[in-house]
Amino acid sequence: MTTLQPSRKLEHKRILVGKPGLDGHDIGAKIVALTLRNAGAEVIYTGLRRTPEQIAQVAVDEGVDMVGLSILSGSHNELVAAVIDALRECDAADIKVFVGGTIPSDDQQHLLNLGVSAVFTSDMSLDAVVDTLAEKLT
Amino acid sequence: MSNDNSAKKTGPSASPKNRSGLDVPTVAKASDVNPENIGAPGEYPFTRGIFPDGYRGRLWTIRQYSGFGTAEESNERYKFLLEKGQTGISVALDLPTQIGLDPTHSMARPEIGKVGVSLSNLSEAEILFDGIDLSKISTSFTINGTAAIIYAMYLAVADKQNVPREKLTGTIQNDILKEYVARGTWIFPVRPSMRLISDSILFSNGVSPRFNPISIAGAHVRDAGSTAAEEMAYTLANGLAYVDELCARGGDVEKFAKRLSFFFYVHMDFFEEIAKFRAGRRLWARFMKERYGVQDPKAQQFRFGVVCGGSSLVAQQPYNNVIRVAVETMAAAFGGAQSIFTCALDEAFQLPTDFSAELALRTQQVIAHESGIARSVDPLGGSYLLEQQTDLMEQKIVEIMEEVDSYGGVIKAIEEGWMQARLAQSALQRKLDTDSGETVIVGHNYFKKENEDMKAGDVFTLDPTVAKRATEKFETLLDTRNQVEVDKTLAKLAKAAADDSENVMPYLIDCCHAYVSVGEMVACLKKEWGEFQEPINL
């Protein structure tokens, strides 16, 4: 059994992990939330079925540095764009967004063009997720 | 990643323990086997299967999961699959239908037709089954939160086709407990959900006795990251919770237990999987007989379907997935499955294409008809290793079930988020073991090659007008149906929901016939029963 090695790579960072839309597959979101917390971040998890507006509001209220969106239903293009718009509406365009889920490669580029900082799929290692976020947040 | 030497695997390729935590011996011996646990096929405790003649009497049902877009497109796909020799159809429903939101709801729009077909009301179901004789084929619906409603709709379509309800065969998943833990399509709180499920099971036993009104599923918990032992343990614990609820609502266990069925994943550890099925089947029979005093062997039997593939498939070198699915299908057959669904090689990351869907079907057919596996019942029965592993697996499953019991039972464990947190820990462990290479996945963390991911161009694309068409059709329905009937049937449904001694099924069927939408029925029930409050504890 491989054990999770605690680190301080994300110390003092606040990160919101959100599940926008109707997709109920939350294990990826929870694994990432547990991993980020283990890397020193303060992690807030929204639970299922949040609207983009709700997620943006929580992000602002909690003063997070970054929002992670987990989507496995194929609705990522619409939902991610809506969250970015909602953040902008709240004057919180400085909050960075990352996305995880079943995201085809063409769509990954599309999301990056929308302003997403990073896109993760299930075949990436958890170490790579932490390192990428640490880099994006410096 | 480069194709360097570090990507190659040398040395022992398997840990002395499997992922369920069972010790696997280097050599299994005759003295490891307890003959009393084995018995004969078709006889209690059914370790060797529920039929005395196994697949020689009746092959497993070959059933592929499909459904997307609108009812018209799915209907076409079903007809295509039935022509190819598939013996049952399996309906995937989109998330708005699964959660009970109509296509016009603001949260529904991005999800319409995405992970399954949009089935918002009876008129869509009439299109979905157009030209398909419901008295001849069996239909399986992956539906849970709104399962009772979709079952009511299926009965209403049968009424419209003039097919007697007692001729219907098929399955609705209707297992809400695992939705709270892994799949997330819950609607109502746990307790009223248990009532809704009991109502549908008891009603179905009476009017459509050949239909399986529940498929108690470990599959989703497993695919999310549990071990094989946890998958079986949580599923049996959930199954017993349903049995308790059905008994409390006046059901006769000798009768309803005959129509309980189960549903699992098969992943790659061959003997672990076969042992899981054999141990689960034996344990269920023991629970039925010893805990509930069930006498009829048919009510002690553990019948199950399986999915091969899922999260055991990877995007790198995707053609390897065909081999994985073949190995898993053999494990399912050695485990004595009643129906098998094989994932397409690209299913881990997209909707399958016609090519990949057909290849998945052919994989099963080759094993079923060419390999000879189906000739003899439980062909691995008596194997020193398998029998020893089956016994160890049984002990492990019981241990996990006892942990759930000592927490206060499954309902409490789910309401308080204990089971959800346990699953998250197991899933994290599986991911860590894959990241570190402790679990070998060929092409993914070992034996890698560059540019071997699935190429774009092989991607199935969904018609972007689906959401618009579904919404327009729905708006037309609202304008054309008889609103007086809608209001009348909904009012009766509300009254039945408020009265715990009523069975809501007849009222749901009346609603369907009046073209009340799934969203309207759910909204009506939510008013009476409330909504589940998700415990968020990581």
CATH of the domain at A118: 3.40.50.280
Nearest of B530, B523, B502, B519 to residue B415 by alpha carbon = B530
User: Which domain, by its residues, includes A85?
Assistant: 14-136
- B107/A22 CB distance under 8 A: yes
CA separation for the pair B323, B318 (Å, rounded): 10
Answer yes or no: is A9 within a domain: no
Residues of chain B with pLDDT under 50: 1-6, 456-458
Alpha carbon of A131: minimum distance to chain B alpha carbons (Å)? 14
pLDDT at B1: 37
pLDDT at B456: 42
Q: Which residue, among B102, B432, B451, would best test binding to A if mutated, counting the most A CBs under 10 Å from its CB? A: B432
- Whether the CB of A102 is below 8 Å from some CB of chain B: the reply is yes
Nearest of A138, A102, A96 to residue A118 by alpha carbon = A96
- B184/A31 CB distance under 8 A: no
CA separation for the pair A73, B470 (Å, rounded): 18
Q: Hey, is B152 helix, strand or coil?
A: helix
Alpha carbon of B237: minimum distance to chain A alpha carbons (Å)? 21
Q: Which residue, among B179, B313, B536, B537, would best test binding to A if mutated, counting the most A CBs under 10 Å from its CB? A: B536
pLDDT at B315: 85
Answer yes or no: is A87 within a domain: yes
Cβ atoms B193, B186 nearer than 8 A:
yes
Q: Closest to A123 (Cβ–Cβ): which among B114, B315, B423?
A: B315
CB pairs under 8 A between A and B: 106
The first and second tokens of residue B87, run together, are 């013996």
- A22/B438 CB distance under 8 A: no
Answer yes or no: is A83 within a domain: yes
A-chain CB neighbours of B349 within 8 Å are: 102, 104, 121
B-chain CB neighbours of A31 within 8 Å are: 225, 424, 427-428, 431
Answer yes or no: is A44 within a domain: yes
Question: Per-residue pLDDT averaged across A25-33, rounded?
Answer: 95
B89-128 burial, b for 16+ CB within 10 Å, e for fewer? bbbbbbbbbbbbbbbbbebbbbbbbbbbbbbbbbbbbebb
A-chain CB neighbours of B106 within 8 Å are: 51
Q: Hey, is B23 helix, strand or coil?
A: strand
Angle at A116 between CA A110 and CA A118, to 5 degrees: 100
- Whether the CB of A104 is below 8 Å from some CB of chain B: the reply is yes
Helix (H) or strand (E) holding B126: helix B122-128
Please state, for a pLDDT cut of 90, what percent of chain A lies above it. 85
CA separation for the pair A37, A7 (Å, rounded): 9
- A22/B349 CB distance under 8 A: no
**Which strands make up the sheet holding B61-66, listed edge to edge?**
B211-212, B169-172, B138-142, B88-92, B61-66, B339-342, B304-308, B260-266, B214-217
Look up residue B179 and give its DSSP letter: I
Q: Which residue does chain B place closest to A22, by CA atoms?
A: B95
State in Å, rounded, how far the first CA of chain B is from the last one: 33
What residues have CB less than 8 Å from B258, skipping those under 6 apart? B296, B298, B299, B301
- Whether the CB of A75 is below 8 Å from some CB of chain B: the reply is yes
Question: Per-residue pLDDT averaged across A82-106, rounded?
Answer: 94
pLDDT at A90: 96
The first and second tokens of residue B27, run together, are 């050599």
- A27/B423 CB distance under 8 A: yes
Answer yes or no: is A1 within a domain: no
Q: Which residue, among B428, B455, B459, would best test binding to A if mutated, counting the most A CBs under 10 Å from its CB? A: B428
CA separation for the pair B48, B334 (Å, rounded): 9
pLDDT at B5: 38
Lookup result for tokens 């008994």: B247
- For B5-436, give the CATH class: alpha beta
Q: How many domains does chain A have?
A: 1
B-chain CB neighbours of A38 within 8 Å are: none
The first and second tokens of residue B198, run together, are 């009991």
| Cis peptide, bond prior to residue B45, ω within 30 of zero | yes
Answer yes or no: is A94 within a domain: yes
Q: Which residue, among B115, B187, B458, B537, would best test binding to A if mutated, counting the most A CBs under 10 Å from its CB? A: B115
- A24/B114 CB distance under 8 A: no
Answer yes or no: is A80 within a domain: yes
Q: Hey, is B309 helix, strand or coil?
A: coil
Tell me the whole-structure pTM to 2 decimals. Answer: 0.93
Answer yes or no: is A28 within a domain: yes
